[in-house]
């Protein structure tokens, strides 16, 4: 992205997609890798041009409205014309709170401002795409981008700083200790591995990630009512294939009882086309007598689920609902994330 391009205004999307990671079973053992914590926050590309700041989610949608304190603090820095890749996090004592981040996605500006004052967020930075002054670094190897990022973060004199440098190690054994919860803290989401000689591949899955549990971000393509109930019993999950078809891959029924009335009302208002590839129904090892009884939905909601095994392009067993992902675009829920 040439730094001379004007920043998007209003609700325009990010001009560049963040580099992504592919899930793997274990950290790479060959030399030439850098290991970093995978934080449990909102992925964010932060753009600064003059006095203007734009924050973008992984989906490409603008975030600065929801994190005004971060945007204002970045705008107040002495450096100019830079782009940073990082993670927005909110600290809750010694841990980070994903729930506090979700609370920010609120329609009322007064509510957002109140939360920004009471529980401010900050950006954990792990890559630099454009250095202060406008030098584009996306084609440079990670080892050079990291050096530029460290120099920039260490130059910030604001206390507290709106930008915090993410730890890293090039020692696989240390990364394994982090993955076990030793040395970094207990709330990291996993470990990300990056090639030291690799450029920044916008939108590509050039990184590798190992999570403490196997998880997937899925589109909710439909739902079933509970047996003998007018309330939702399970969500039907989908992933997009290379042809951009939404295929049914399994279900999750781990929905809290207290959440079912409001969720049922929300889902019933979203009836739509549902799955465009493989859909629930037809004989299979997963079939039940209720396989074809479901309500198709517009593919707009994304959930993160944990699972134990995938076979034949589907989750072998039911999955566990971990959280809703309003920060992620449905189109990003593809089979590629599974490795």
Q: Please list the active-site residues.
A: 38
**Beta carbons of 24 and 208 less than 8 angstroms apart:** yes
Q: How are the residues of the chain apportioned to helix, strand and coil, as percentages rounded to the nearest 5?
A: 20, 30, 50
Beta strands in the chain (DSSP E): 21-23, 33-38, 42-49, 52-57, 82-89, 91-92, 95-96, 122-130, 163-165, 190-195, 207-211, 215-225, 232-240, 246-252, 295-296, 302-306, 310-311, 314-315, 320-324
**Gap between the Cα atoms of 29 and 171, Å rounded:** 10
**Displacement of CA 148 from its chain's centroid (Å):** 24
**Gap between the Cα atoms of 210 and 191, Å rounded:** 5
**Gap between the Cα atoms of 70 and 44, Å rounded:** 11
- Three state DSSP letters for 190-230: EEEEEECCCCCCCCCCCEEEEECCCEEEEEEEEEEECCCCC
Neighbours of 83 (CB within 10 A): 26
Neighbours of 309 (CB within 10 A): 9
């Amino acid at each position: 992205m040439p730094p001379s391009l004007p920043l998007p205004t209003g609700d325009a999307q990010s001009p560049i997609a963040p580099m992504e990671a592919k899930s793997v079973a274990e950290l790479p053992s060959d030399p030439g890798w850098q290991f970093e914590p995978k934080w449990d926050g909102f992925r964010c590309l932060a753009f600064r041009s003059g006095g203007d700041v734009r924050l973008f989610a992984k989906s490409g949608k603008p975030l600065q409205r929801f994190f005004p304190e971060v945007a204002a603090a970045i705008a107040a820095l002495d450096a100019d014309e830079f782009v940073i890749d990082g993670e927005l996090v909110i600290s809750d004592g010694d841990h980070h709170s994903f729930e506090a981040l979700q609370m920010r996605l609120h329609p009322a500006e007064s509510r957002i401002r109140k939360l920004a004052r009471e529980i401010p967020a900050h950006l954990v930075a792990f890559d630099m795409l454009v250095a202060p002054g406008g030098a584009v670094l996306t084609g440079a190897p990670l080892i050079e981008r990291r050096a530029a990022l460290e120099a920039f973060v260490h130059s910030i004199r604001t206390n507290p700083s709106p930008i915090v440098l993410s730890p890293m190690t090039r020692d696989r054994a240390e990364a394994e200790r982090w993955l076990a919860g030793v040395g970094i803290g207990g709330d990291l989401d996993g470990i990300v591995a990056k090639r030291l000689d690799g450029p920044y591949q916008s939108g590509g899955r050039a990184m590798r990630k190992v999570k403490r549990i196997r998880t997937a971000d899925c589109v909710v393509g439909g739902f079933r009512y509970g047996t003998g109930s007018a309330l939702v019993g399970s969500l039907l999950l989908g992933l997009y294939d290379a042809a951009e078809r939404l295929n049914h891959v399994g279900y999750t029924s781990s929905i809290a009882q207290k959440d079912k009335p409001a969720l049922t009302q929300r889902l019933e208002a979203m009836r739509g086309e549902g799955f465009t590839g493989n859909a629930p129904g037809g004989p299979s090892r997963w079939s039940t007598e209720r396989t074809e009884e479901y309500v198709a939905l517009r593919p707009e909601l994304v959930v993160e689920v944990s699972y134990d095994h995938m076979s034949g392009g589907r989750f072998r067993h039911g999955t566990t609902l971990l959280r809703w992902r309003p920060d992620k675009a449905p189109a990003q829920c593809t089979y590629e994330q599974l490795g």
